[in-house]
Amino acid sequence: MKLHAFFVYGLGLFIAFISSAILVASGMGTMAWAKQVPVRSVIAPLPQHLRDTGLFVAGSTTEVQAQNLAFSPQYPLWSDGAAKRRWFYLPPGTSIDASKPDAWDFPAGTRLWKEFSFEGRRVETRLIERLADRSWRYSVYVWNEEGTDAVLAPKSGISALPVSVAPNGRYAVPSESDCRACHEGAAVPPLGLSVLQLSPDRDPLAVHADPVSLATNNLSSLAARGLIRKLPKDLLTNPPRIAASSPEERAALGYLHGNCGQCHNNNESEAGAAVPVGLLLAQKVGRSEPGSASSEQVLHTLINGPSRYRPPGTQGDAKVIVPGRSDLSVLVLRMKSRNPQMQMPPLGTEIPDAEGIALIERWINKL
């Protein structure tokens, strides 16, 4: 158990103990006492088994509880070709406050799961929770070969889990600090349960996306059920879509948003972890002044944008994207590389995403 979790848990028990002692000593009623002292919640340690996290119906490791809603981001993250399923849970009577459309506020008790599998063999299921003190907690459960049980992985992850169906026969389970590197670089940790990712105006050219039939929980349906509140009305009547000069450009910018935008953004992140380079790859929807489309700002940093990184062996100034020349564009070179000093994204994959790269190259070569 992490020392911090132990401390919080231990402290909570201690406070509970002291408070009952005071209650007994003073003879005060519970209600009167509760009004004077802020409620402290006890944060339970992580369950050792996925089945105890509330994902499945009791006694099952396949049947998802009806209260957990499936969702499917239109621009998914590439993870070496793993198939993914995702669900979220909000405590009864709570909802997401979307008044800041690019930084949704999730209620305490929110849970989000993502399951990874290769050829039908489940490998891991990740969990993000918002705790009672509004902090975020990350964990991973690793499935056994038979698919009958998934057990909590160590915080340091597992660098090479043998999985015969995974590429190269092994699989890297990320560490908790890897989770935070991606999830806390964005404005708020949930990345796929967000405004552009859940737009009902789905991009037909998006790479690796689920079919529309699997994306029934979207902005409009969740708003209609009262699970998302205060989303600016124009985003419901006119669902978000990346402004672009061609369908290919829209899909390319969407790919970069989904796979890179969690780090390359100008958000004021809760954890303040955004990347220290000028390259902006995240799209925002919360702006409506003419000429200020988020995609224009992204394109401005991309096209002929100076790159601080110079690929080994190249001469002169490197550029993030050289129009018409994907072969000279640092963005593409870094996406293709799996040299740890150079590869982008820097973590979460062992093999480059051929389909994603092909889309980006087609787009750049037509610029």
Closer to ligand HEC at the Cβ: 16 or 125?
125
Please tell me whether residue 217 binds ligand HEC under the rule CB under 6 A.
Answer: no
Q: Which of 76, 101, 240, 254 binds ligand HEC (CB under 6 A)?
A: 76
Which of 239-251 are b and which e, b meaning 16 or more Cβ less than 10 Å from the residue's Cβ? bbbbebeeeebbb
154 token code pair? 């160590």
Closer to ligand HEC at the Cβ: 201 or 234?
201
Q: Which of 96, 191, 219, 222 binds ligand HEC (CB under 6 A)?
A: 191
C-alpha closest to that of 73 among 189, 203, 183: 203
Closer to ligand HEC at the Cβ: 84 or 100?
84
Closer to ligand HEC at the Cβ: 185 or 239?
185
Q: Which of 308, 325, 338, 366 binds ligand HEC (CB under 6 A)?
A: 308
Q: Which of 68, 218, 259, 326 binds ligand HEC (CB under 6 A)?
A: 259
Please tell me whether residue 262 binds ligand HEC under the rule CB under 6 A.
Answer: yes
Q: Could you give the CA distance from residue 324 to residue 314 in angstroms, rounded to a whole number? A: 18
Please tell me whether residue 299 binds ligand HEC under the rule CB under 6 A.
Answer: no
Q: Which of 55, 98, 128, 274 binds ligand HEC (CB under 6 A)?
A: 128
C-alpha closest to that of 129 among 97, 176, 85: 176
150 token code pair? 């998934």
Closer to ligand HEC at the Cβ: 8 or 357?
357
333 token code pair? 């070179």
Please tell me whether residue 129 binds ligand HEC under the rule CB under 6 A.
Answer: no
Closer to ligand HEC at the Cβ: 96 or 128?
128
Closer to ligand HEC at the Cβ: 130 or 241?
130
Determine contact, residues 74/199, Cβ cutoff 8 Å: yes
Determine contact, residues 163/118, Cβ cutoff 8 Å: yes
User: Max alpha carbon distance in the chain (Å)?
Assistant: 80
Within 4-63, the residues that bind ligand HEC by CB under 6 A are: none
Q: Which of 334, 336, 363, 364 binds ligand HEC (CB under 6 A)?
A: 334
Q: Could you give the CA distance from residue 198 to residue 216 in angstroms, rounded to a whole number? A: 9
C-alpha closest to that of 78 among 326, 289, 262, 295: 262
Which positions from 238 to 257 touch ligand HEC by CB under 6 A, shown as an x/- string? Answer: ------------------x-
Q: How far is the CB of 152 from ligand HEC (least distance, A)?
A: 11
Please tell me whether residue 298 binds ligand HEC under the rule CB under 6 A.
Answer: no
Please tell me whether residue 285 binds ligand HEC under the rule CB under 6 A.
Answer: no
Per-residue CA distances from 283 to 102, 219, 220, 241, 324 (Å) = 9, 17, 20, 10, 23
Please tell me whether residue 282 binds ligand HEC under the rule CB under 6 A.
Answer: no
Q: Could you give the CA distance from residue 114 to residue 131 in angstroms, rounded to a whole number? A: 18
Q: Could you give the CA distance from residue 46 to residue 152 in angstroms, rounded to a whole number? A: 8
Q: Which of 307, 326, 336, 367 binds ligand HEC (CB under 6 A)?
A: 307
10-16's contacts with Cβ under 8 Å and 24+ in sequence apart are: 12/40, 12/41, 12/42, 12/43, 13/42, 15/40, 16/42
Q: How far is the CB of 235 from ligand HEC (least distance, A)?
A: 18
Please tell me whether residue 182 binds ligand HEC under the rule CB under 6 A.
Answer: yes
156 token code pair? 């340091």
Window of 40-48, 100-108, 111-119, 229-237 that interacts with ligand HEC by CB under 6 A: 111-119
Q: Could you give the CA distance from residue 185 to residue 232 in angstroms, rounded to a whole number? A: 24
Q: Which residues of this chain interact with ligand HEC, rule CB under 6 A? A: 73, 76-77, 84, 86, 112-114, 126-128, 138-140, 174, 178-179, 181-183, 185, 190-193, 256, 258-260, 262-264, 275, 277, 279, 307-309, 320, 330-331, 334-335, 344-348
